[in-house]
Amino acid sequence: MRDRESHLVAGGRRWLVVAVAAGLIAFILGLLFRPVQAWSAFLVSSFFFLTVALGGLVFLAIMYVSNAGWHTVFKRVPEALAACLPASAFSMLAILAGARWLYPWTHADAVLHDELLSAKAPYLNTGFFAARMVGVLALWVFFALMTRRYSLRQDAHADIKYTRRNVVLSAIFLALFPFSFSMASIDWLMSLDPHWASTIVGLYQIAGLLSTAVAAISIVGILLRRRGALPDLTETHLHDLGKLLFGFSTMWAYLWFSQYLLIWYTNLPEETTHYLVRLQGGASFLFYLNVVLNWALPFVVLLRRPAKRSEGTLLWTSTVVLVGRWLDIHLQVVPAVAPDRLQGPMGIGFLDVALLLGFGAAFLLMTDRALGKAPLLAEGDPYLVEALHH
C-alpha cells in the first residue's frame, strides 16, 4: 500500500502535533495537581473520540446490512474514523489506571459503609469492570479491523465476495453492538454516580453516537472535498448526510426528553438527583446549551433543503453538533465526579479544553494517516456506480 499525500491536515500538521503535546503536558500536570479533574477530562474526551471512531464503524455496518449504495463514494471516510478505534480503545483502557479517582465503588471502605454499593458489588468491582471493558473494546476492534481488511482487499480484486463478507460481519456486529455499547455506557458513565439508574441510558448514548458519526463523517468529507480530494462527493450526498444528521439529532432529543419528562413527572428523589445537580449553580446554563447545540440549532438550520445541500452550512452545523456531543458527555461525567464544579460560573475548565484539543489533534492525525493508506475512492465496490450517479 502506497502512502498518499495528506489531504485532511495538509499544512496544519505541525500545529496538530503541538496541540497533542500541549494536551499531554496539561494532562501530566493535571495528574500531579488536580487528578480528579484531569481524569474526568480524560474520560470525557476519550469516550467522545471513541464514539466518533465507533460511530464510523456503526455507520458502515448499517450501510452494509441495508445494501446501501449512495455512501460508497465517501465510504473511506467512516472507514478512516473506524481505523482510529484501536487507539481509542487503548485510551479507554487508560481509564483503568484512574478508576479510583472517578468511580466511588472502587473504594473498599465506601462500599462497606454503603448498603446500595455493597448490593451492587458483584457487578461494580474493579476486576469485573476491567474484564468487561477489555471484552467490549476487543469485540469492536475486531470488527473494525476485519471490515476494513475486506474493504481494502476489494480495491485490488474487485470481488463481490468481500461485500458479501462485510454484510455478514456487519450483521453480527450490529446484533452485538447495542448490547455491548449499552453495557459500556452503564459501566463507564452511569456508574460514575452508582446510586442513580435509568434504563434509557444505553439507547440515549447510541442515539448520541449516531449523530456524532454523521457529523464527523460530514466534516471530514467536506474538508476532503474542499481540498479537491473527493470531487465525487456531490451536493446530493451532502443532502442525505444532512437529512441523517437532522434525523439522528432529533432522535437524540427525543430520548433526552423521554428521560427528562418521565423523571420530572414522577419526581422520585432517587431519580431527580441526577437533574438537580446539573440544574443548580452558576453553570446550569450548560444544561440548556446541551439541548440547543445537539438539537435545537441543527433542527432549525437543517430544516430547509438548501441548508442541507450547502457545504458551508453542513460543515458548521456538524461542528456545532460535535461540540454539543462533547458537552453532553461532559455533563454526564463532571457533575457526577465533582458536583461542586458546576457551582462556578463556567463549568468547563482549562484542563477539559486542553484535553479535548489534544485528543482532537491526535484523532485528526490518525484519521489522516488512515485516509492516506488507501485510495479515497473504493473503486472495487460494486455499489460505486450508484454513488457516482446519486
Partner 1 sequence: MSRVRLSALREPLVTAERSLAQVTDEVCAPIERRPNTRWWLALLGAASALCFGLVCYIRTLSTGLGVWGLNNTVGWGVDITNFVFWIGIGHAGTLISAILFLFRQQWRTSVNRAAEAMTIFAVTCAGLDVIVHMGRPWLAFWTLPYPNTRGSLWVNFRSPLIWDVFAVSTYFTISLVFWYVGLLPDLATVRDRAKGRIRKLVFSLLSLGWNGSHRTWSRYETVYLLLAGLATPLVLSVHSIVSMDFATSLLPGWHTTIFPPYFVAGAVFSGFAMVLTLMLIVRAVLGWQHLITTRHLENMAKIMIVTGGIMALAYATELFTAWYSGNAYELFTFRNRMSGPYAWAYWTMVGCNVLAPQLLWFKKLRTSPIVLFPLSLVINVGMWLERFVIIVTSLHRDFVPSNWTMYWPTWVELGITIGWFGLFFTLFLLFTRALPMVSIAEVKSVLDYGREPRREPASVPWPAPIAPEFVAGSQEGAV
User: Any residues with CB less than 8 A from the CB of 261 and at least 6 apart, and which?
Assistant: none
Q: Which is nearer to partner 1, 339 or 382 (CB)?
A: 382
H-only helix segments in 10-84 = 13-33, 35-65, 76-83
Question: Which of 28, 142, 156, 178 touches partner 1 (CB under 8 A)?
Answer: 178
Rule CB under 8 A: say whether 282 interacts with partner 1: no
Torsion angle defined by CA atoms of residues 309, 226, 313 and 317, in that order, rounded to the nearest 10 degrees: 110
Question: Which of 69, 98, 298, 349 touches partner 1 (CB under 8 A)?
Answer: 69
Site residues (CB under 8 A) for partner 1, limited to 190-219: 197-200, 202-203
Site residues (CB under 8 A) for partner 1, limited to 47-66: 65
Residue with cell 485510551: 91
Question: Which of 15, 128, 142, 254 touches partner 1 (CB under 8 A)?
Answer: 254
Query: Residue 280 carries which DSSP code?
Result: S
CA distance 79 to 116: 43
Q: Which is nearer to partner 1, 207 or 320 (CB)?
A: 207
Rule CB under 8 A: say whether 175 interacts with partner 1: yes
Q: Quote the least distance from Cβ 139 to partner 1, whole Å.
A: 16
H-only helix segments in 158-200 = 160-188
CA distance 15 to 208: 29
Rule CB under 8 A: say whether 389 interacts with partner 1: yes
| Cα-based angle 291, 289, 199 (whole degrees, multiple of 5) | 40
In 3-state terms, the chain is what percent helix, strand and coil (to 5)?
80, 0, 20
Rule CB under 8 A: say whether 145 interacts with partner 1: no
Query: Residue 374 carries which DSSP code?
Result: S
Rule CB under 8 A: say whether 372 interacts with partner 1: no
Only one of the segments 6-14, 128-136, 354-362, 377-385 lies at the binding site for partner 1 (rule: CB under 8 A); that segment is: 377-385
CA distance 365 to 7: 11
Only one of the segments 145-153, 327-335, 345-353, 376-384 lies at the binding site for partner 1 (rule: CB under 8 A); that segment is: 376-384
248's grid cell: 439522528
Rule CB under 8 A: say whether 265 interacts with partner 1: yes
Q: Quote the least distance from Cβ 6 to partner 1, whole Å.
A: 18
User: Any residues with CB less than 8 A from the CB of 198 and at least 6 apart, and which?
Assistant: 190, 259, 263, 271, 274
Question: Which of 6, 22, 96, 123 touches partner 1 (CB under 8 A)?
Answer: 123
In 3D space, the residue among 371, 372, 55 whose CA is nearest the CA of residue 241 turns out to be 55
Q: Quote the least distance from Cβ 177 to partner 1, whole Å.
A: 10
Q: Which is nearer to partner 1, 73 or 297 (CB)?
A: 73
Q: Which is nearer to partner 1, 45 or 163 (CB)?
A: 163
Residues near partner 1, by CB under 8 A: 65, 67, 69, 115-116, 119-120, 123, 158, 160, 163, 171, 175, 178-179, 182, 186, 197-200, 202-203, 231-232, 243, 250, 254-255, 258-259, 261-263, 265-266, 268, 270, 377, 379-380, 382-386, 388-389
